[in-house]
Chains A and B, each alone.
Chain A
Amino acid sequence: MKIFDKLISSVVPLVDENIDTDQIIPARFLKATTREGFGENLFRDWRFDDQGEMIKDFPLNNKKYAGKILLAGKNFGCGSSREHAAWAIFDYGFRVVVSSYFADIFKNNALNNGLLPVQVSETFLETLFRNIEDNPRMEVEVNLKAQLIILPGMALSEPFEINPFKKHCLLTGKDEFEFLLDHLESIQEYEKRSFYTLETF
């Protein structure tokens, strides 16, 4: 997994609430058997009309905006568990998603792929949206070590929560998987007292 430490970038804002993973990557693009190339179809039906023409004022297409931080209304990533959503956002070039809350599975998927979900308060989210409207290329700093999201130009910041273990994984690039593999012995030990191991199947 890629290391994440700190990022200073301008922001692409999506004001919608409850953005579901079907919008992030529609099901018809899930036929691939590899992880690559999903960025091309990120927000496909919001970025392009049915003739394949770019919808110019959609924020990802709008020249006003750019950057590696995606800012979105609350309950981002709800719906389907497809990890392809996190892959698509990352592949498109985003490294951070900021919202006032995230759906559980999406949050996990993002963290497992080096994409940092930053959960901020409703008020801070509004402040961000407002400031970006006024100044579309405003830069925002996301500092994982300090667990802070900062608007450098404005002396404004807010701390954010992240699980210490997940933080460690992101900062060091180590992933959960290696950690689990170290536990195979205790897993076998556990199986001796389990009700439902293979013998019962």
Chain B
Amino acid sequence: MGKTLFDKVWNQHVVREINDGPLVLYIDRHFIHEVTSPQAFTGLKEKGLQVFRPKQTIATADHNVPTYDQHLPIKNALSRKQVSTLTENCKTYGIELYGLGHPFQGIVHVIGPELGITQPGMTIVCGDSHTSTHGAFGTIAFGIGTSEVLHVLATQTLLQYKPKTMQINVEGVLQNGVSAKDLILYIISKIGMGGATGYFVEYSGQAIRNLSMESRMTVCNMSIEMGARGGMIAPDKVTFEYLKNREFTPRGNALENMKSYWDSLKTDEDAVFHQELTFHADDIAPMITFGTNPGMGMGVDEKVPSSEHALNGETYSFDKSLNYMNIDAGKPLLGKKVNYVFIGSCTNGRIEDLRQVARVVKGRKKAPNITALIVPGSRQVEVMARKEGIDKILEEAGFELRQSGCSACLAMNEDKIPKGEYCVSTSNRNFEGRQGPGSRTLLASPLTAAYTAIKGYIADVREIL
């Protein structure tokens, strides 16, 4: 029987199997950031251990950093301490750090790919659930807890059980105005938040193949939002083109050698998944969420469903959710006034996303009621945006481009949405209070978010495309 892409990469990384027990899985690259690593380093210190392979761990400061005046000391004392603890730990243990001020700094899942650290066939982990993003390269990438961060620091391995595999096929061609974000929000709205728990997903089909590398990252990024351990896409020409000439990708002959390995990274014709699902791209409209989990989404021009239509009979949580959002079942969201828009995050904070935003706002003006936060996913994205004049287009429309970080995606810094306010956000989670206590998040694509910022209310971007 043939093997899936997942099986191939997984098997390649098994150090040892233990009868009746877990297996020891080798980790090629490990990313760390300031929030989930300090306690792991403490554990290392307590045990008197060293970092086993310091060159295979890469650090950045992203979750808890300000998005303006990054050259000044961080105002909040606790945040400052967290970032300086990371700096000290990296120094002590010889780990490369792309901290504030470094040209490579940025959200961990944005910088890995853009620097070419993420490569096909690797295993990658990080103390962060959206590590699944890196799966876009045909990589087994998943989030871990802080205890496991310690395990990787000390041994470059993890104890793992092999998850089941799921194939999600998306056939057909996405319509104009429908992006990768809509595609993944659509899938999650169909299978629910726990729909892929216990599985590793491979995305395939024409609609996936047609996506750019950055769009593939958007899809894989949100795999965790349906409970999947991770998601991956087989590498192909698009992948190889993207990887060429990146900071850490091999050059010349070395690249050619790797390519022949990368070419083998695809699911065999006769391989069998534990579960297979198929969706059709033409069924997908620009999406928006109306509830407090990413599975509560609908086409932007639809009416909010009632709890009778809640997935898996989750009626209690559904009603509680609408109540928190102060959104009525049976009514449309189009035209609903929104005062905040957030564009950024590891889901949609890359250059392609900012280009989409520029396409919408160019020659238009921001609605007066809107406060918009536009936050690049990395320093490099910011530099590119400025080079391309995107910052000017934004300014002319009344927006401002910030400095890179996670920002209002999780609101650990001062970028918060006030209590009771709605925010159309390109991030990945609309949980209660995710963007600040009492905030109400509606997830959407960069196109939809940008158009909402122009209109001052939820609007269908297809009107102008």
Q: Among the listed A26, A81, A163, A183, which residue makes an inter-chain contact with B129, where contact means beta carbons less than 8 Å apart?
A: A81
Question: DSSP class of B's interface residues: helix, strand, loop or mixed?
Answer: loop
B455 interface hit (Cβ, 8 Å): no
Q: A180-B157, A181-B154 are in contact. Are A81 and B36 (CB under 8 A)?
A: yes
Q: How far is the CB of B312 from chain A (nearest CB, A)?
A: 8
List chain B residues, Cβ under 8 A from A195. Answer: 12, 28, 121, 258, 261
Complex: chain A residue closest to B119, CB-CB = A196
B78 interface hit (Cβ, 8 Å): yes
Q: How far is the CB of B259 from chain A (nearest CB, A)?
A: 12
Are the CB atoms of B129 and A79 closer together than 8 Å?
A: yes
Q: How far is the CB of A47 from chain B (nearest CB, A)?
A: 13
Q: Which of A108-116, A131-139, A154-162 contacts B (4 or more CB under 8 A)?
A: A108-116
Are the CB atoms of B317 and A35 closer together than 8 Å?
A: no
B177 interface hit (Cβ, 8 Å): no
Q: Which of A2-10, A54-62, A98-106, A142-150 contacts B (4 or more CB under 8 A)?
A: A98-106
Are the CB atoms of B429 and A31 closer together than 8 Å?
A: no
Q: A109-B145, A183-B15, A195-B121 are in contact. Are A177 and B293 (CB under 8 A)?
A: no
A22 to B129 Cα, complex, angstroms = 12
A195 to B261 Cα, complex, angstroms = 9
Are the CB atoms of B147 and A198 closer together than 8 Å?
A: no
B197 interface hit (Cβ, 8 Å): yes
Q: How far is the CB of B293 from chain A (nearest CB, A)?
A: 5
Are the CB atoms of B437 and A33 closer together than 8 Å?
A: no
Q: A34-B39, A78-B227, A187-B155 are in contact. Are A26 and B15 (CB under 8 A)?
A: no
List chain B residues, Cβ under 8 A from A177. Answer: 43, 147, 150-151, 154
B383 interface hit (Cβ, 8 Å): no
Q: Which of B18-26, B278-286, B336-344, B372-380 contacts A (4 or more CB under 8 A)?
A: B18-26
A78 to B321 Cα, complex, angstroms = 16
A78 to B428 Cα, complex, angstroms = 13
Are the CB atoms of A190 and B26 closer together than 8 Å?
A: yes
Are the CB atoms of B250 and A200 closer together than 8 Å?
A: yes
Complex: chain B residue closest to A16, CB-CB = B317
Complex: chain A residue closest to B86, CB-CB = A33
User: Which residues in chain B, 48-79, are within 8 Å of chain A measured between CB atoms?
Assistant: 52-53, 55-56, 63-64, 76, 78-79
User: Which residues in chain A, 1-54, are within 8 Å of chain B measured between CB atoms?
Assistant: 15-18, 20, 22-23, 26-28, 30-35, 45, 50
Q: How far is the CB of B418 from chain A (nearest CB, A)?
A: 11
Complex: chain A residue closest to B79, CB-CB = A31
The 6 A-B pairs at the shortest CB distance, nearest first, are namely: A83-B145, A31-B78, A33-B38, A109-B145, A196-B28, A81-B143
- Could you list 14 examples of A-B contacts with CB < 8 Å? A31-B78, A31-B82, A33-B85, A105-B145, A164-B20, A165-B18, A165-B20, A177-B154, A186-B24, A190-B26, A194-B13, A195-B261, A197-B28, A201-B55
